[in-house]
Amino acid sequence: MLVQEADQILQRALQENGPDTEVAFPNTAYYLPLVFGMTGREVQTLGDLVPVIEDAKRLLRPVPADRRWTPYLGETLDSGIATLLAEETIEAVRFIYGLEPQRVPGLELAGGTAFTSPDANGDGQAAGNGHLNGPIDDIQLRSWGIQLVDGRMPGFAAIVGAAKSNEVAVKIVRELQQRNILTFLAGNVNGRSIIHQLQEEGVEMGYDTYIVPFGLDTISAIYALGFAVRSALTFGGMKGGQAREILHYNKERVFAFVLALGEVDDLKYATAAGAINFGFPVVADTRIPQILPTGVTTYEHVISMPFNEIAAEDDLGRAEKLVQKCIEVRGVKVRVTEVPVPVAYGSAFEGERVRRADMRVEFGGKYSRAFEFLRMVDMDEAEDGKVEVIGPGFDEIEDGGAMDVGIVIEVAGREMQQDFEPVLERQVHYFVNAASGLQHIGQRDIAWIRISKAAAEKGFDLEHFGKILHARFHADFGAIVDKVQVKIYTDPAELEKWLETARDAYDFRNQRLADLTDERVDEFYSCTLCQSFAPNHVCVVSPQRLGLCGAYNWLDCKASYRINPTGPNQPIRKGNLIDAEKGYWEGPNEFVYQHSNQAIEEVTMYSIMENPMTACGCFECIAMVIPEGNGIMVVSREDPSMTPAGMTFSTLAGMAGGGLQSPGIMGHGKFYLLSPKFISADGGFKRVVWMSSFLKESMADELQEVAEREGDPDLIDKIADERDATTVEELLPVLEENEHPALTMPPIF
């Protein structure tokens, strides 16, 4: 329909002006950008437009049947592109007749494209007065383009139509401005445009305010897509005619969306179909057919969100939610750079202690209960940035007193997974500790938090926990978290209820971890964080063998890879199994060979005797074979004493570290001791004949479970430590006396 109209307009222009009449958008390169981008045609004259219309006609398809069993978008999309080609043709012709940029009496642009033609500038007035902007000029394209590419500007919004009221129009635009999102305006509903609405409310429009009024009709929305094409040509290194690449570039890198306000007529819908080709989703504030499945766009294609049905107190609240929905559908990431708390904030304060005398109030510890619980919720269930304190504050508590508190963090994100809950929850410790005057110890339901008098005097209050967590989760985990809301419970009944929910979740997670075995996953993760000082070392982290530093388990690595896909934690496909007992797979072997500068050819996951995993130097423990005891000793970093190997931890560290593979000695994480896969190829935990007393004591309960699992409940007591033996001579009699099982096991080598 529009294509026909464009055809007629073009024919008339050809008759009146001749085919050699020049056509161009002022101050822009790339000819007519959309035409150039999609078809490669370099339109310079009216005559050049004829084949463009032919292209458009070919792309037009019969309207698909209303109901199809699977939504089929192909034809809609092609027709969309045809519409865009026609729109750009019409705009180009209008420039010849001086109809573009459109006049709006009384409008003053705060910075805009300068038109050299005096006609266009409205009777010799200064540039930027009395007319709309038309296409964005090249200088501005580059300047904004740089900000879009470097991420300072998250994306652009193309608003088409008119808002319910002037008030709503202003609110929508302000919400976008606040987030640094560039706003393009076009179109009208029954002659009334959002441009009029903003003008009446005295909102400044123009380059300087990031609000660009293109034109009063739907057709002028083409400038937004022209801008998108030019971005790809300028910043993506694309060439004219590389339609697929240009569209893909926009989908992946230009975070734009269309917000249709008011009634959506056929032309708007067709233009929207054009925008979808770019991966730009369309959100309408009226009832229109939705296209929900994902594919061409990252998430949903077309969303209908009838304005009056949005749940909010008033229209302003509805406007806010509408904008939030747009951002969510396009996946625009929010950036929070500052942590809004009344005290100094930074990792320098992490180790700070709050002594009892300096303490205003504490939560948890001996005199009260505190827990923290992070859970994933659906996108609709979380309102980003919302912090609620449910129950009384600590004003009534005397200085140095204690009170119960529960911090419940609800996060939502397209990339969020339930497996990441504990990974994120553990961050609470670091995030809270980084506030000056706060001390955080523990986790889960043994959390213990103190607020100093100084911090309380500066105004630090319960709600600030929420502010900290919101800011930091966005800043550090933005790749997986889109929304964060925090509820702080002090109300006893609510707290009790949530504590129960949290404990159920903790149990569930424990069970999940217990069920997570190396056999059940397809991928392990690498950690090459330490290659700066141990260039040939690669950690292979599996569900049952955490990183040797103890800081990275398999879930941490998985989350870290999501957050930083080019970082030090990369997935390693297990590939073909070579030896299940020793833990050889093709994948880890290849990965380690490549990433150890070809120094390490093979690595076992479960053996200390054969091709053991190398170590950087960060290990929590060192295991070493004691041939005389037919077993191994495990010495922890905390233990300064002499060991039966005749060396202390620090001497041993020189042998175990540096990325060298030495059978018989191995660095590992404390919790690997508890794994059923702990040197399972060599006989498992029963091989431990000597172990630092620090480990025995600090992990007493866990080790007891291991002993029972191994079928020898007294096993831990049978293991010697530095208190009974610091030489092999002393060790053997102890083992014999204790009837240590290693003595009767097959020879370790």
Partner 1 sequence: MTVEIPVEKWPGQVREITLGATADEGGTRSHTVTVGGETTLPFLHFEGEIPHPPVVGIEIASRRPDDWSPLLLETWSDVVDDPAAWAKAAEEAGADILLLTLSLEDSVDDATSAVRQVLEACDLPLIVFGPGQADKDNELIVPVAEEGAGERLVLGVCEEKNYRTIVAAALAHDHLVNSRTPMDVNLAKQLIILIHDMGLPLEQILMDPTTGALGYGIEYGYSVMERLRLAALQGDSMTQQPMLVTPGEEAWKAKEAKVGDDVPAEWGDWGERAINWETLTATSLIQSGADLVVLRHPETVQRVQKTIDALMAEAGEPELVAA
* Residues at the site binding partner 1, with contacts judged by CB under 8 A: 142-143, 145-147, 149-152, 234-237, 249, 253, 528, 531-532, 535, 566-568, 597-598
The nearer residue to partner 1, 145 or 612, going by C-beta atoms, is 145
Please report how close the Cβ of residue 614 comes to partner 1 at its closest, in angstroms.
16
Residue 703 burial by CB count (10 A; 0-12/13-18/19+): exposed, middle or buried?
buried
The nearer residue to partner 1, 143 or 698, going by C-beta atoms, is 143
The nearer residue to partner 1, 255 or 671, going by C-beta atoms, is 255
> What SS3 class is residue 211?
strand
- 3-state helix/strand/coil string of 253-298: HCCEEEEEECCCCHHHHHHHHHHHCCCCCEEECCCCCCECCCCCCC
Please report how close the Cβ of residue 75 comes to partner 1 at its closest, in angstroms.
31
The nearer residue to partner 1, 144 or 671, going by C-beta atoms, is 144
In angstroms, rounded to a whole number, what is the distance separating the alpha carbons of residues 148 and 467?
27
The nearer residue to partner 1, 149 or 728, going by C-beta atoms, is 149
Q: Which residues pair with 636 in a beta bridge?
A: 621
Please report how close the Cβ of residue 528 comes to partner 1 at its closest, in angstroms.
6
The nearer residue to partner 1, 143 or 501, going by C-beta atoms, is 143
The nearer residue to partner 1, 567 or 713, going by C-beta atoms, is 567
Quick check: bond before 101 cis, omega within 30? Answer: yes
Please report how close the Cβ of residue 152 comes to partner 1 at its closest, in angstroms.
7
Please report how close the Cβ of residue 598 comes to partner 1 at its closest, in angstroms.
7
The nearer residue to partner 1, 86 or 539, going by C-beta atoms, is 539
* Paired sense of beta strands 359-364 and 401-403, if any: parallel
The nearer residue to partner 1, 39 or 231, going by C-beta atoms, is 231
**Residues contacting 69, CB < 8 A, separation 6+:** none
Please report how close the Cβ of residue 572 comes to partner 1 at its closest, in angstroms.
16
CA nearest 375: which of 483, 283, 520, 278? 483
The nearer residue to partner 1, 228 or 748, going by C-beta atoms, is 228
How many other β-carbons are positioned within 10 Å of the β-carbon of residue 601? Answer: 12
In angstroms, rounded to a whole number, what is the distance separating the alpha carbons of residues 453 and 568?
41
In angstroms, rounded to a whole number, what is the distance separating the alpha carbons of residues 466 and 364?
18
The nearer residue to partner 1, 230 or 450, going by C-beta atoms, is 230
The nearer residue to partner 1, 112 or 145, going by C-beta atoms, is 145
Q: How many helices (H) and strands (E) does the chain have?
A: 23, 25
Please report how close the Cβ of residue 723 comes to partner 1 at its closest, in angstroms.
42
Please report how close the Cβ of residue 302 comes to partner 1 at its closest, in angstroms.
28
Pairs from 591-600 (Cβ < 8 Å, separation ≥ 24): 591/526, 591/538, 591/540, 592/538, 592/540, 595/526, 595/528, 595/531, 595/538, 596/536, 596/537, 596/538, 596/659, 597/535, 597/536, 599/536, 599/659, 600/536, 600/538, 600/659, 600/661
Pairs from 415-420 (Cβ < 8 Å, separation ≥ 24): 415/479, 415/480, 415/562, 416/376, 416/480, 416/481, 416/482, 417/376, 417/480, 418/376, 419/512, 419/555, 419/558, 419/559, 420/376, 420/480, 420/555, 420/558, 420/559, 420/562
Please report how close the Cβ of residue 532 comes to partner 1 at its closest, in angstroms.
4
**Residues contacting 220, CB < 8 A, separation 6+:** 91, 100, 102, 132, 134, 186, 187, 214
Q: Where are the beta strands (DSSP E) in 518-677?
A: 523-527, 539-541, 571-573, 577-579, 584-585, 621-626, 631-636, 665-668
Q: Which residue has 């955490």 as its token pair?
A: 546
The nearer residue to partner 1, 273 or 339, going by C-beta atoms, is 339
Distances (CA, A) of 171 to 201, 323, 373: 11, 10, 35
The nearer residue to partner 1, 190 or 347, going by C-beta atoms, is 347
The nearer residue to partner 1, 220 or 569, going by C-beta atoms, is 569
DSSP symbols for 336-390? --S---SS-BSGGGTT----GGGEEEEEETTSS-EEEEEEE--GGG--TT-EEEE
Q: Which residues pair with 49 in a beta bridge?
A: none
Report residue 388 as tokens: 């609620």
CA nearest 719: which of 740, 695, 749? 740
Please report how close the Cβ of residue 252 comes to partner 1 at its closest, in angstroms.
10
Please report how close the Cβ of residue 594 comes to partner 1 at its closest, in angstroms.
8
Please report how close the Cβ of residue 246 comes to partner 1 at its closest, in angstroms.
12
Q: Which residues pair with 438 in a beta bridge?
A: 451
